[in-house]
Amino acid sequence: MAQIAVLGGGAGGHAVAADCALAGHTVTWLELPQFAAALEPIKASRTIQVVGRGPDPLHARIQSITTDFAQAVPMADIVFIITPCFGHGPMSEGCAPHLRDGQAVIFFGEGSGSLVLRKVLKDRGIRRDVLIGETNTLPYMARLRAPGRVLANRKTGGTLLAAWPGRRTAELLGRVKDLWPYITPGTNVLETILINFNAIDHVATMVCNAGSLETRTTLCLLWGEGASPGVARAIEAVDNEILAIRVALGFPDRTPYRDFLVKQGLLDAPQATTYQAIQRSSLNASTFPCGPEALKSRYITEDVPYSHVLISEIGDAAGVDTPVIDGLIALTSAMNGDDYRKKGRTLAALGLGGLKRDALLKIVNEGD
């Protein structure tokens, strides 16, 4: 059995920590000090309840809960980082000094975390033989029901794992295949960045429904009533731009968004249109809290600066125009009174500025 460190106390962190513990691994769970209150209610019991997998909750026992990277990271065989994109930097900075040869560090959720850690290690002059990688999404539909209680329904597929550099992906996948056998290999970490379902279906839906989202005070069915045929075509337009980048980079997986809904287990069978796929998927029942601050949701404040901006830049490097994505960046910046293009995650911020297609692919495939 392995020693596991799980970094991040949200729904995804609950799910990963629980599954690792249920599989018999020893789990140390870390949250950043500023968010430590989220785990305080369960420090005494050190127990996570997993619901949604049967009539009774599963109970997963965690060895320890901490805010100290020196306690969580050095002894771990695998370090899982499960945090929103804005946590990639703090988590990378915190764990970098404590890494040792032979470890694996895997970011679960939206992509590009592995490239953040790569830059932190380079900037600090830390050289370790550490397997680094990331997925394109969580392997769950996870929602917190209470502190220490998580609904964590496993997806059936659609979760890709890629290593940095990509030549080590098979090696990294072997470290987690027993826990999540439905995770499949990606070509490299550009592919995990580009196959980002949140970037595809969140932003366009939020923008197209902005008036209703800000003025209503009740829950809405964002992909039910909110995903009209026109909104679905906007989602498809984003997906088509991302598909064009994947084609230009030579990635073999050309699966459109609507078919990824089937792969993830959110839809029973392929549909002819994105609108039909969304309306017949389990997304149709997903609720969203409306109100004056609705547009401050992570569906915009994370997905635009950390995903859309980076995808737009990768498109530029690959020679692919992204007018719809660029328009959504401009619109959401204006609507929220922010400059997501300026503050967003760029190739330059990742130490990859000025690189064109072939040079970029060489680094993500072979390393540097």
**Which pLDDT belongs to residue 317?**
98
The CATH number for 336's domain is 1.10.1040.10
Residue 42 sits in the same domain as residue 190 = yes
Same domain? 321 vs 279 = yes
| 220 and 293 inside one domain | yes
Whether residue 137 is found in the same domain as residue 37: yes
Task: Based on the fold, state whether residues 159 and 257 are members of the same structural domain.
Answer: no
Residue 36's domain is classified under what CATH number? 3.40.50.720
Q: Are residues 128 and 257 in the same domain?
A: no
Q: By the 8 A CB rule, do 56 and 25 touch? A: no
Long-range (24+ apart) CB contacts under 8 A made by 345-351 are 345/85, 345/112, 345/305, 345/306, 345/309, 345/310, 346/309, 346/310, 346/313, 347/310, 347/313, 347/314, 347/317, 349/119, 350/112, 350/115, 350/116, 350/118, 350/119, 351/115, 351/118, 351/119, 351/122
The pair of structure tokens assigned to 45 is 């019991």
Helix and strand numbers, DSSP H then E, in the chain: 17, 14
The pLDDT, as a whole number, for residue 82 is 98
From 194, 213, 245, the end of a domain falls on 194
Cβ atoms of 227 and 275 within 8 Å: the answer is yes
Q: Which of 130, 165, 194 is the last residue of a domain?
A: 194
- The tally of domains found in the chain comes to 2
pLDDT of residue 368: 87
Q: Do 306 and 218 lie in a common domain? A: yes
**184 and 211 housed in the same domain:** no
Residues 48 and 190 in one domain: yes
168, 194, 220 — which closes off a domain?
Answer: 194
Whether residue 211 is found in the same domain as residue 360: yes
Place of tokens 């029901």: 145
Question: What residue numbers bound the domain in which 318 lies?
Answer: 197-366
- The pLDDT of residue 52 is 87
Same domain, 47 and 149: yes
Residues 40 and 89 in one domain: yes
pLDDT tens for each residue of the chain, 368 residues long: 899 999 999 999 999 999 999 999 999 999 999 999 889 889 999 999 999 888 999 999 999 999 999 999 999 999 999 999 999 999 999 999 999 999 999 999 999 999 999 999 999 999 999 999 999 999 999 999 988 999 999 999 999 999 999 999 999 999 999 999 999 999 999 999 999 999 999 999 999 999 999 999 999 999 999 999 999 999 999 999 999 999 999 999 999 999 999 999 999 999 999 999 999 999 999 999 999 999 999 999 999 999 999 999 999 999 999 999 999 999 999 999 999 999 999 999 999 999 999 999 999 999 98
What is residue 38's predicted lDDT score, i.e. its pLDDT? Answer: 87
